[in-house]
Amino acid sequence: MGSVSRSAKSQQAGGGAKVAEWFGGRLGVDTRSGSSVRRKAFPSHWSFMLGEISLYSFFILVLTGIYLSLYFHPSMTPVEYQGSYAPLRGLTVSEAFDSTMRISFEVRGGLLIRQAHHWAALVFVASMFVHMLRVFFTGAFRKPRELNWVLGFSLLVLGMFEGLTGYDLPDDLLSGTGLMVVNGTILSIPLIGTYLSMFLFGGEYPGKDLIAHFNTLHVVVIPALMAGILVAHLVLARRHRHTQYPGPGRTERNTVGLPFRVYAVKSGAYFLLVTGVVFIIASLVQINPIWLYGPYRPDQVTAGSQPDWYMGVLDGLLRVMPGWEVAFWGHTLALDNLVPLLAGAGLFLALGAYPFVEAWVTKDGKRDHHLLDRPRNRPVRTALGAAWVSVYAVALLGAANDLIAVRLHMSVNAVTWAVRIGLFVVPFVVFAVTKRWALALQRGDREEVLHGRETGIIKRMPDGEYIEVHRPLAREKLHLLTQHEQYAPIRISTDGSAARTERLRALLSRGLYGKGTQIPKPTVREYEEIAHDEGDGTVIH
């Protein structure tokens, strides 16, 4: 009776129980969360430092941002510039531009802090971007870390918008040129675009409240959201066991790494190293010299203007999009702005949603995974990630189409068409090459397991044949090359009785793990059938 009543209650709970169970497994409620941090082990692979770089860059951004906010005036009120930079003296500028010039030339250490702030922002987004790719290619997003993937993805997107809002605060001609692009993109949004633009700019472009609005977003709203997400990200990482690369003694039930004291000392030294590198770059490499651009004027445009690299993907899509428009019912739909906006958003949403798609396709959303994948052992996932990066890279080249044309003495139209074609051709080429590359590496691992390691030693057999001597692999190497799990594609009935969603799942499953997507790893029987020379431990073929 007890089991029947529990089953009935479970059925009555329905979807709510499933949702609670899903979040319970991801929030670490059912894990060993009570253990002390000092008793945890921290793997020391170099790729784990990518996430720490982003964390330390965030600290640098906060500290330098507090310093800059003491002297910056977020106002578009016009004033006459009377600072120490003679070429601009007497020009009418905004208070935002005037205070930024004062920070750069009159505040002690202001230019160094300002450049360190800008470089730290670039490092912050770059390290998050590469860290997300590391998580993607190694499968670190699998249960119980799906929520951490969403938090990290949200942090990346917020970091990009944080950089955009900070980039426009000085109110110089370069940032103003970018603002015109932003305004055009906002206006292309159907129904609400005009209202968003009026609210953001405080009236018709360029308005009078943009700097104040962007300053609030840049200094208060977005940093608060990022800090909250970062804390939640670290708390979840603390509650889950740390991921680790496969190797001897490493399983799904343990963690091999450094003790907390050693890790803390190493991490502190790494923070000082990152800080030192950022400030060395800031002291040697000039960035965003607004005195060369001058104050923003709506009737002027900076030639050769480029956004920061992380926003280059959207700018590149805008530049190569044909000037298409659709007019209906007295309204015009600006496809030349709307389509790139939707394509850029879709590109990032595809990356953010992939872990959930893979878990659904493989029906592997209930097991915890703490061992990372070698990218070669997931050829299709690795190829999809490489194709995604290629789209980003080609669009980034499109954002520099004018500079490429000038430097290489080419036509801008030729460069633009090359980018247009590349956006559709390059991802498929990269996907095919990456997949074949991963399969070739898998095939090489298989041969190495079965036939041993090549020694370069040539041996003559009694019958006169010359063969190369192979050494059998060490047990640690054998474990590394054979420990991974290979999924089988989902099979459904062929009589058409399966639901449409199951047929879709089976189709995607065949694409990920069907024929031609992985090389079968050697079995124990295949390995034991290899002839071993008992005299010197060599393998002869």
Residue 446 has pLDDT above 80, yes or no: yes
Q: 330: which 2 tokens?
A: 């007295």
**DSSP line for 264-325:** HHHHHHHHHHHHHHHHHHHHHS----HHHH-B--TT---TT----GGGHHHHHHHHHS---E
CA distance 44 to 250: 13
Is pLDDT above 90 for 17? no
Q: How far apart are alpha carbons 274 and 123 in whole angstroms?
A: 10
Rounded-to-integer distance, Cα 226 and Cα 121, Å: 13
Residue percentage of the chain with pLDDT more than 90? 46
How far apart are the C-alpha atoms of 297 and 86, rounded to whole Å? Answer: 20
Cis peptide before 144 (omega within 30 of 0): yes
Rounded to 5 degrees, φ, ψ at 244 are: -150, 155
Residue 87 token pair:
């070429």
Above 70 in pLDDT, residue 15? no
For residue 229, give the nearest of 149, 137, 134 by alpha carbon: 149
Rounded to two decimals, the pTM is 0.87
Spatial distance between the Cα atoms of 399 and 344, rounded to a whole number of angstroms:
13
Question: In this structure, are residues 307 and 118 in contact, taking their beta carbons and an 8 Å threshold?
Answer: no
| Nearest-angstrom CA–CA distance, 217 and 219 | 6
The answer to whether the beta carbons of residues 35 and 247 sit under 8 Å apart is no
The pLDDT assigned to 24 comes to: 64
Please name which of 68, 83, 77 lies closest in space to residue 95, comparing C-alpha atoms: 77
Chain Cα centroid distance, residue 260: 28
Amino acid at 131: H
* Mean pLDDT in residue range 397-402: 91
pLDDT tens-place string over residues 178-205: 888 888 888 888 888 888 888 888 888 8
Comparing 126-130, 187-191, 413-417, 436-440, the range with the smallest average pLDDT is 187-191
Q: What is the pLDDT of residues 110-169, one digit of tens each?
A: 999 999 999 999 999 999 999 999 999 999 999 888 899 999 999 999 999 999 999 889
pLDDT digits (tens, 9 = 90+) for 23-51: 666 666 444 444 556 677 788 888 889 99
Q: Could you give the CA distance from residue 384 to residue 379 in angstroms, rounded to a whole number?
A: 9
CB 334 within 8 A of CB 416: no
- Answer for the pair 237, 155: CB distance below 8 angstroms, yes or no: no
To the nearest whole number, what is the mean pLDDT of the chain? 86
